[in-house]
């Protein structure tokens, strides 16, 4: 039986492990942290369960983009909760004592109808916008066919928006729920913008009980198929002979391990993968430098908030609150200009029990504290987080009256926390920044110069549940004998 080693137990690593185990490989997943899951990890604070990075998904209904993938991975029977179809995302702008709210509805026709009622002169533009998103979404795998990475990778998302929508205010609205990606006017490809927004327009879902259920189910399936999932096991280097990866050297509980493999898949950030190949003679400097110097997307600040019982009604939608004067396409991630309010599905009743407030945060704001261990970063760092929390609450409360009085307790995390839990360099929320002006450089192949070493994860092509799941299939399709795995899953 051929052996496969998976480095990292994020969604992409576990999905690759699942695919390879299903095709007869003896799979070993190696996770350096205490818990598996990467961004899918959950944690408890005073009896409340919070998610690390996962919050909601799109396109789970039959015939939609994520459905065949999650059906193959056996994830459709988890306790999914559909968000309000007439307003799964609410885009809000506040400033100068005024507030404007715009609903995003599920279904491309309903999406257009809902916003056309507010912007009647832009109905045709909205139809073009929705049709283009749907077309790109319907051809999700075709964009990677052959040697072409698809026109949508080399086209500006902002340029596309300006071409189809004349009203500046509507362009801002259509951009106002995009904290699920990093908007940048000079880099963001249309493909990233379209795929992510299209999947949520199809349908939007929360998961009652946290994203760790996804990781746990995939891991249990791998074990059922004869594999192993080992946490607290850090890979120190990838071993190779004559351009072929032969295994890894790892450390577990102070014990050194040498594990041999016929196939290795790294779910670590590409720059981290390169660091595991520091002694390789097969990796040319031009390739190594290219990967290690690519810029990463911004990090995220999160305030995890426990609420007083019976104080705040549960909202079955996501609330994106933006300052009216902010420039969404040229974000100032050192200021709090936008915040996402995400409610956790309560076990019972109509009142919310806890929620997250999330806002972009630049690495430069916390980098000076990076050398200190968690819990020992000093009063200045704690004061920074308190100030950021206050700014997030003040912004969110303009749409959610009574939020401040309903708060029982707050815990916070910064890009430093994200780096500690997920290993993502600079605490990046969405991995390597894609650039439409240089797609061949920033949209990466799963293949590496070593014949049987492959990469997967959010930095390669597209982040999020859909992007990572799609990329895991593309990665496994590079393994000899598994070239038709995408067709098998999409049947």
| Contact by Cβ (8 Å): 189, 154 | yes
The residues near 210 (Cβ < 8 Å, ≥ 6 apart) are 42, 49, 50, 51, 54
Q: Which of 356, 329, 335 is nearest to 182 (CA)?
A: 329
Determine the Cα–Cα distance for residues 260 and 14; give it in Å rounded to an integer.
Answer: 19
312 SS3 class: coil
Cα–Cα nearest to 298, from 476, 146, 432 = 432
| 231 C-beta neighbours (distance < 10 Å), count | 16
- Residues 431, 433, 438: CA angle, nearest 5 degrees: 140
Edge to edge, the sheet with strand 318-323 lists 98-104, 89-95, 318-323, 338-343, 354-361, 299-307, 407-413
For the chain, domain boundaries: 3-40+57-77+210-294+434-490
Strand partners of residue 81: 206
349: left (phi over 0), alpha (psi -120 to 50) or beta: left
The whole-model pTM stands at 0.96
Is residue 43 within 8 Å of residue 50, measured between CB atoms? yes
Q: Which residues make beta-bridge pairs with 45?
A: 48
Q: Which two tokens stand for residue 48?
A: 């409340």
Domain 3-40+57-77+210-294+434-490: which CATH number of 3.30.300.30, 3.50.50.60, 3.40.50.150, 3.20.20.70: 3.50.50.60
Cβ-Cβ contacts under 8 Å for 468 (sequence gap 6 or more): 10, 11, 12, 15, 456, 457, 458, 462
Of 342, 321, 390, the closest CA to residue 94 belongs to: 321
Residue 325: CB atoms within 10 Å: 9
pLDDT in tens, the chain (491 residues): 899 999 999 999 999 999 999 999 999 999 999 999 999 999 999 999 999 999 999 999 999 999 999 999 999 999 999 999 999 999 999 998 899 999 999 999 999 999 999 999 999 999 999 999 999 998 876 654 443 346 888 999 999 999 999 999 999 999 999 899 999 999 999 999 999 999 999 999 999 999 999 999 999 999 999 999 999 999 999 999 999 999 999 999 999 999 999 999 999 999 999 999 988 889 999 999 999 999 999 999 999 999 999 999 999 999 999 999 999 998 876 789 999 999 999 999 999 999 999 999 999 999 999 988 888 899 999 999 999 999 999 999 999 999 999 999 999 999 999 888 888 889 999 999 999 998 888 889 999 999 999 999 999 988 999 999 999 999 999 999 999 999 888 76
- Beta-bridge mates of residue 301: 359
The Cβ of residue 460 has, within 10 Å, a number of other Cβ atoms equal to 26
The token pair at 459 is: 């930095």
């Amino acid at each position: 039986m051929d052996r496969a080693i998976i480095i990292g137990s994020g969604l992409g690593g576990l999905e690759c492990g699942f695919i390879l185990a299903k095709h007869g490989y003896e799979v070993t997943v190696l996770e350096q942290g205490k818990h598996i899951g990467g961004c899918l990890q959950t944690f408890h604070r005073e009896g409340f369960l919070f998610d690390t990075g996962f919050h909601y998904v799109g396109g789970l209904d039959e015939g939609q983009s994520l459905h065949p993938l999650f059906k193959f991975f056996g994830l459709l029977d988890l306790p999914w909760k559909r968000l309000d179809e007439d307003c799964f995302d609410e885009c809000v702008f506040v400033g100068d004592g005024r507030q404007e709210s715009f609903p995003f509805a599920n279904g491309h026709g309903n999406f257009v109808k809902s916003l056309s009622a507010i912007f009647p002169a832009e109905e045709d533009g909205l139809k073009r916008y929705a049709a283009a998103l749907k077309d790109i979404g319907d051809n999700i795998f075709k964009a990677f066919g052959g040697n072409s990475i698809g026109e949508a990778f080399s086209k500006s998302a902002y340029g596309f928006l300006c071409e189809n929508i004349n009203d500046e205010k509507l362009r801002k609205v259509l951009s106002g729920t995009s904290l699920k990606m990093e908007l940048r006017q000079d880099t963001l490809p249309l493909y990233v913008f379209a795929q992510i927004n299209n999947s949520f327009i199809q349908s939007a879902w929360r998961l009652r009980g946290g994203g760790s259920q996804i990781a746990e189910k995939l891991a249990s399936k791998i074990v059922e198929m004869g594999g192993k999932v080992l946490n607290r096991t850090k890979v120190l280097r990838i071993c190779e002979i004559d351009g072929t990866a032969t295994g890894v050297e790892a450390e577990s509980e102070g014990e050194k391990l040498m594990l041999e493999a016929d196939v290795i898949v790294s779910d670590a950030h590409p720059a981290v993968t390169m660091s595991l190949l520091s002694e390789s003679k097969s990796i040319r400097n031009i390739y190594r430098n290219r990967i290690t110097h690519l810029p990463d997307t911004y990090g995220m600040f999160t305030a995890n908030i426990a609420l007083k019982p019976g104080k705040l009604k549960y909202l079955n939608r996501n609330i994106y609150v933006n300052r009216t004067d902010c420039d969404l396409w040229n974000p100032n991630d050192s200021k709090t200009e936008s915040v996402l309010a995400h409610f956790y599905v309560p076990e019972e009743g109509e009142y919310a029990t806890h929620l997250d407030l999330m806002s972009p945060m630049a690495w430069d704001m916390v980098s000076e504290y990076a050398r200190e261990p968690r819990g020992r970063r000093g009063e200045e760092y704690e004061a920074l987080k308190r100030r950021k929390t206050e700014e997030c609450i003040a912004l969110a409360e303009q749409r959610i009256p009574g939020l401040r009085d309903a708060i029982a307790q707050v815990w916070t995390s910064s890009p430093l926390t994200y780096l500690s839990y997920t290993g993502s360099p600079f605490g990046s929320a969405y991995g390597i920044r894609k650039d439409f002006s240089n797609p061949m450089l920033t949209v990466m192949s799963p293949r590496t110069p070593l014949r049987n070493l492959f990469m997967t994860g959010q930095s390669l092509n597209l982040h999020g549940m859909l992007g990572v799941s799609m990329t895991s299939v593309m990665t496994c399709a590079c393994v000899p004998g598994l070239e038709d795995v995408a067709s098998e899953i999409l049947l």
